[in-house]
Amino acid sequence: QVLLVESGGGLVQAGGSLRLSCAASGRTLSTYRLGWFRQAPGKEREFVAAINWRGSSTYYADSVKGRFTISRDGAKNTVYLQMNGLKPEDTAVYYCAAGGATVSAGGYGYWGQGTQVTVSS
């Protein structure tokens, strides 16, 4: 069992930055990838970024490459998503997920409750 709790969302102007956090707990965290997904109103949930628990491999959607950075703090069992250069189209509910997949939401078995990110123009 894995429990995920996100925080750090909010309202920011275009060009601004936010850092999302995902606190994870569970006895087998080292076997999972941790991912961030987002879902805007009326749209499907989409992959944003993922990292393996050791932090040696990271993956990004093309839409966020160069702007977002995923990282993790093993001592705190926390995964972060640093978001810079935010755009209005980044507005969505952001979800943290744990599982064995990389970009496919269907491959993640555990999900957080989500945190809202709103970027104003």
Tokens of 112: 């957080």
Q: Rounded to an integer, what is the distance from CA 18 to the centroid of its chain?
A: 12
Beta bridge partners of 94: 38, 115
The mean pLDDT of 57-78, rounded to a whole number, is 94
What are the tens digits of pLDDT across the range 97-111? 998 778 888 889 999
Question: What value does the mean pLDDT of the chain take?
Answer: 93
Confidence of residue 28 (pLDDT cuts 50, 70, 90): low
Residue 26 has what pLDDT? 82
